[in-house]
Structure 1
Amino acid sequence: MNPSPQGIVGILVGECAGPLPFAESAFCRQLCHIGNQQKMTIYVFCPGWVTSGRRSITGYTFESGKWIRKQFPAPEIIYDRCISHDKNQQRRKQRCLEILNDLQPFVYLTRGLAGKWSVYQALMKHRLFAAYLPNTVRYEGTIQLDNWLSLHGGEAFLKPQNGSHGKRTLLVKEMNADLGGGLALTGRDSRNQLFRRKFRSRQDGLEWIHRFIGSRIFLLQPYLQLNTSKGEPFDVRVLMQKNENGLWSMTGMAVRAGRKHSLTSNLHGGGTAHKALPFLTKELGERNGITAVQIIRKLSEAIPKHLESQFGRLAELGIDFGVDRGERIWILEVNSKPGRSSFFRIGDMQGARKSVENPIQYARYLLLRKTLA
C-alpha cells in the first residue's frame, strides 16, 4: 500500500449567511470526513478570511461530529469551489490566492473554465464536438436579436455567459408574426423565480430584453425543443472526474427534468432527477434510448482531455446534454464546478459516494507524486 502523503488541502468556498459562514457545508463536511480517513488535513476557508502578513489561515474543519474553527497552515492544494458573481468578488479571490502563494506555492486541484462563450469556442475547434453544438453567438443588441428572430422561426434562447442554476435565462417568442406582432417572454430572474411577460409592441419587448441583459455578456441560441412527450424540459447531466490514479472516469449520469412549461430542468428551479437509461428509453424507445446513452458517453469521455488542452489541468466536469424531439443530441454546457445532488436523488449511491471521494483521492494522488518526486 502506498504511504499517506499527510497533505493539507484547503477548500475555497464563498461566504454566506446562516448557521455557518460558508457555502456548501454539507459537501464540505463529507470532504473533511474522507480526508480524515486518508489522514489528510482538510479545511474550509473563504477569500475574505485570508489577510496579508499572517502565516496561518482561519478556517473550519469537521471533526468529532462538529465544525471547529481554528488556525491552519497554508494549503498545499486548493480545491476551488468558490463562484465569483462579479468583478469585485473575482478581485477579492485573486488577491486571496496571491497571498496564499506568497506563503507557500500551492497546487490548484482544478482550474476554472473561462465562461460559456470560451468553452463553446474551444469545443468548436474539435470536429467531433462541433456537430453536437447549437449555433451560438454573443448578444450584441436589439437589431441583432430582431434579425435572429426573423431567421430562426420567431424564437430565441438567451443565457448569461457566467450564469448558473438556470438564473437569468430567457426564451423569446414572436406573437402573431404574420402581423409583425409583439413578443412573449418566459424566463428566470436573478433569484431563479419563473416569470412571463408579453409585449404587444415588438420594439418594447426588444428594449425590455436589452435592459434585462444590461452590461452582462449573454449568449444567443436557437430554442431547442428539449422536452418530454408531456412538455417537461429535461437534460442529461454527466459527471466526469479524475480518480485516485489521476485518470478521467465517468462518475455518473442522470436526467434532470423540470416542471411543465418551466423553461429549464435545473434542480434548483424545482426539477426532479431520474436514472438516465430508463428515462431515455421511455421517451425515445429502447433502441434509440440505448444509442443516445452511448453517444453521450462517447462525447463525455472525449471532452475533458480536449478542454484540458485548451485551459490547463482540470479535476472534474459536469457536462449537460440535451435530446430534442427529433432525437438529436446537443452539448449544452460544461461546468468546472459541478453539483452532484442528482446521484443522491436517483439512488445511485456508488456514483454519489465517488462524486465526493474523487476530489480528495485525486488531491492525494497529486500530493503523493509531489512527495515521491
Structure 2
Amino acid sequence: MGLAKVQIQIVPLQQFPHHYDLVMSQALAKKLEIRTPLIWIAFGSSVAKGRVAFGQMNSKLIRISSHLAEQLKMNQQPLIRAHFDTHSLRLRFGPILGILINTHPQEQHAQPFGQMTRFLDECTAAGQSRGIRIAVFVPEHLDLNQNETTAWIKQKRKWCRFTYPLPDVIYNRITSRRVEQQETLQRKLSLIKNHFRIPLFNERFLDKYQVYQILATNERISHKLPETFLFRDKRSLSLFKRYPTVYLKPNNGSLGSGIIKMTRTREGWIYQASTSIGTIRRTLGSNYKMIQFLQQKIGKKPYIAQQGLKLMKFENRPVDFRILVQKRKEGVWKITSAVARIANSQHIVSNLARGGTVRKAGDVLRELPYPYKPSLAKLRMTALDIAKSFEQSADGHFAELGIDLAIDTSGKIWLIEINSKPSKTDDTVINPTSHFRPSVLHLIEYVLHLTNKGNSFPPPAPSTISWIKRRRIQR
C-alpha cells in the first residue's frame, strides 16, 4: 500500500489526453505502488473508474480531468493525502473529515460560524498540513440518496459552499439537544453508521443520570460520584435529610443553566438559582414548603437531585477542574489539557457561560490554601480512569470527553460531570497565541488513526476487480 501527499489540478476535459482520466509522474506512481493504469478513484463516498497516464516529470502533482472531478465531486486540492490499496486497486484521496454543526453560517460575516469560527479555521489549517480535507455541514444538507452534502470548505482564506461527497469520518459538533434529537436527523445518523459504515464520533449528548448509573456500577469510580437520584424519585427526599447542601440540575442541561443550590440553615432552607445575570436567593421556612416550592419551580422538567459537597474554594469562589481527554493517533485515551474554572463572585457555578474564568490547573492547585490537596498528576490520572471506565460501559463512539472534577476540603476528588461536547469557543483557550490548540491536532491524529485502519473504507464492491480484469482482457 502506497501513501503520498499530492496536489490535485483539475484540467478541462478537452485539454486532457484522450481515453485517460489522471496523469501522474512515474516516480509518484512508484511511491504509491500503482502498477496498472486501470484503477478505481475514491474521494469520500464518491468512487469512479479511471485510467492513469504515467508521465516523465518528477512531481507530486496529479492532474485529473474535469469529467472525473465532477464524478468525484472534487474541487482543486492544494495538498491532500493519496493512498493506494494494491488489493482493491483503489486510489483514495483524503480523508475528508466532516464536522456536523447545527447553525447555518453567516457567509458574509467576518466570523461566519460565530464563536466556533476560530476552532474550525484551526481544524482546516491543521487538516491541510496533514493532507486532510475539512468539510463543515448542517443536518438539512445531508442527502443520503445522492451520497452527498452541501458543505462549507475553506479556500484562499474564505469559507465557500460546495457540493461534496459524504465524508470518510464525521465529528458531531451539534450544540443543541433539540436539533440532535430530531427524528429525521436520528434516521440519517443511523444510516450513516450502519449502512454507509462511516465512523461517527461524539454522536450524542450525555444524560447526567444515565452517566451516573453507568459509573455507579464500576468499583474503581463509584466512590467518586456524589449520591444522585432523579428529582421525581422519592429516594431524592433522603438527600435533603442527610446532607446540608443539595444541588438540583437539569438532567439534559449544559452551560450551568437551571442549576439550583439548596442549603439547610437553622431557619430552614436557602434557595439559590443560577441565571444569566446572577444568582437568585430565597429563604424557605420548612421542609414541606421547600419541597413544594421546588416542585412548582421544576414542574415536569427532568431534573436530578445530587449530594452537595464541601469543596475547596479559590479566593473564596467555587472552583472545579475541566480535564479534556481525547483519543489520538494510537486510538487510546490521553490527557490533552487541564484547566481550573473559577466561578464569578455572583454565581454558584463555575461555567464560563456564567462569567467564570479559566486558569491553568497546576497554577490554581499550587495556590489553593488547603493542607490536603491532590497533585495535578492525580487529577489527570483520575480523569483518564473515568474516561476508560465510561467507554467500557456506555453505548456509542466517543473520542473526546470533558471530565469535570472537584476537590473537597479533605482532598478527595469527585466527578461532577462528563461532557461529550466540550466547548470550542475562544474563551476556553489558555494560550491564544499558539497556531493550533492541542485538541485540534489530536482530533486530526484520531481521524488518521480511523482511516489508516481502514475503518471508514467499505470493502470493494464485487464488480471492482472484475471490471479491471475485463478491461485488461478487452485491451
What's the counterpart of residue 68 of structure 1? 160
What's the counterpart of residue 206 of structure 1? 291
State the Cα deviation string for residues 49-78 of structure 1 (Å, max 9, x = none): 224644421121222111111211012211
Partner-residue secondary structure (3-state), 1:163: coil
What's the counterpart of residue 335 of structure 2? 250
Task: Specify the code of the residue in structure 2 equivalent to 1:156.
Answer: V
Q: Which has the larger radius of gyration?
A: 2
Match of 1:162 among 248, 252, 258: 252
Q: Distance in 2 between matches of 1:316 and 1:101?
A: 18
Alpha-carbon offset, residue 48 of structure 1: 2.2
Match of 1:186 among 260, 272, 288: 272
**What root-mean-square deviation, in Å, do the aligned CA atoms of Structure 1 and Structure 2 show?**
3.1
Partner-residue secondary structure (3-state), 1:246: coil
Match of 1:12 among 100, 104, 107: 100
Q: Distance in 2 between matches of 1:304 and 1:249?
A: 9
**Contact kept? 2:102, 2:179, Cα under 8 Å:** no
More displaced stretch, 161-170 vs 82-91: 82-91
What's the counterpart of residue 151 of structure 1? 242
State the Cα deviation string for residues 230-251 of structure 1 (Å, max 9, x = none): 3211101111111122222111
Task: Specify the code of the residue in structure 2 equivalent to 1:140.
Answer: R
Q: Distance in 1 between matches of 2:173 and 2:305?
A: 27
- Relative to structure 1, the CA distance from residue 352 to residue 341 in structure 2 (aligned partners, 3 Å threshold; closer, same or farther) is farther
Alpha-carbon offset, residue 123 of structure 1: 1.6
What's the counterpart of residue 364 of structure 2? 279
More displaced stretch, 305-314 vs 334-343: 334-343
**Contact kept? 1:319, 1:334, Cα under 8 Å:** yes
TM-score for both structures, normalised by structure 1: 0.85
Q: Distance in 2 between matches of 1:351 and 1:254?
A: 19
Give yes or no for the alignment of 1:329 onto 2:413.
yes
Alpha-carbon offset, residue 228 of structure 1: 1.8
Partner-residue secondary structure (3-state), 1:67: strand
Alpha-carbon offset, residue 170 of structure 1: 0.7
Q: Distance in 2 between matches of 1:211 and 1:88?
A: 28
Q: Distance in 2 between matches of 1:89 and 1:372?
A: 27
**Contact kept? 1:50, 1:99, Cα under 8 Å:** no
Q: Distance in 2 between matches of 1:73 and 1:109?
A: 19
Q: Percent identity over the alignment?
A: 25
Alpha-carbon offset, residue 89 of structure 1: 4.0
**Contact kept? 2:247, 2:262, Cα under 8 Å:** yes
Alpha-carbon offset, residue 214 of structure 1: 2.9
Alpha-carbon offset, residue 82 of structure 1: 1.1
Task: Specify the code of the residue in structure 1 equivalent to 2:400.
Answer: E
Alpha-carbon offset, residue 316 of structure 1: 1.2
Alpha-carbon offset, residue 365 of structure 1: 1.2
Q: Distance in 1 between matches of 2:389 and 2:424?
A: 22
- Relative to structure 1, the CA distance from residue 33 to residue 17 in structure 2 (aligned partners, 3 Å threshold; closer, same or farther) is closer
State the Cα deviation string for residues 117-163 of structure 1 (Å, max 9, x = none): 1111222222221221111111116x76655323322x310111111
Alpha-carbon offset, residue 351 of structure 1: 11
What's the counterpart of residue 225 of structure 2? 133
**Contact kept? 1:109, 1:363, Cα under 8 Å:** no
Task: Specify the code of the residue in structure 1 equivalent to 2:172.
Answer: D
More displaced stretch, 9-18 vs 243-252: 9-18
Q: Distance in 2 between matches of 1:61 and 1:341?
A: 20
Q: Distance in 1 between matches of 2:432 and 2:215?
A: 29
**Contact kept? 1:239, 1:318, Cα under 8 Å:** yes
More displaced stretch, 83-92 vs 155-164: 83-92
Match of 1:31 among 96, 101, 123: 123
Q: Distance in 1 between matches of 2:194 and 2:117?
A: 28
State the Cα deviation string for residues 253-294 of structure 1 (Å, max 9, x = none): 110101125111111111111111221121145x744x3323
What's the counterpart of residue 173 of structure 1? 263
Structure possessing the higher relative contact order (Cα contacts under 8 Å, 6 or more residues apart): 1
Alpha-carbon offset, residue 369 of structure 1: 1.1
- Relative to structure 1, the CA distance from residue 78 to residue 158 in structure 2 (aligned partners, 3 Å threshold; closer, same or farther) is same
Partner-residue secondary structure (3-state), 2:239: helix
Select the structure that is richer in helix: 1
Task: Specify the code of the residue in structure 2 equivalent to 1:300.
Answer: A
Q: Distance in 2 between matches of 1:342 and 1:277?
A: 21
State the Cα deviation string for residues 143-190 of structure 1 (Å, max 9, x = none): 76655323322x31011111111111110124544xxx4x4321224x
Alpha-carbon offset, residue 194 of structure 1: 2.7
Task: Specify the code of the residue in structure 2 equivalent to 1:7.
Answer: P
Q: Distance in 2 between matches of 1:2 and 1:353?
A: 27
Q: How many residues align?
A: 363
Q: Distance in 1 between matches of 2:433 and 2:332?
A: 21
What's the counterpart of residue 221 of structure 1? 306
Alpha-carbon offset, residue 229 of structure 1: 5.2
- Relative to structure 1, the CA distance from residue 360 to residue 51 in structure 2 (aligned partners, 3 Å threshold; closer, same or farther) is same
More displaced stretch, 35-44 vs 98-107: 98-107
Q: Distance in 2 between matches of 1:233 and 1:69?
A: 44
**Contact kept? 2:256, 2:274, Cα under 8 Å:** yes
TM-score for both structures, normalised by structure 2: 0.68
Q: Identify unmatched segments of 5+ residues in structure 1.
A: none
Partner-residue secondary structure (3-state), 1:212: helix
- Relative to structure 1, the CA distance from residue 36 to residue 247 in structure 2 (aligned partners, 3 Å threshold; closer, same or farther) is same
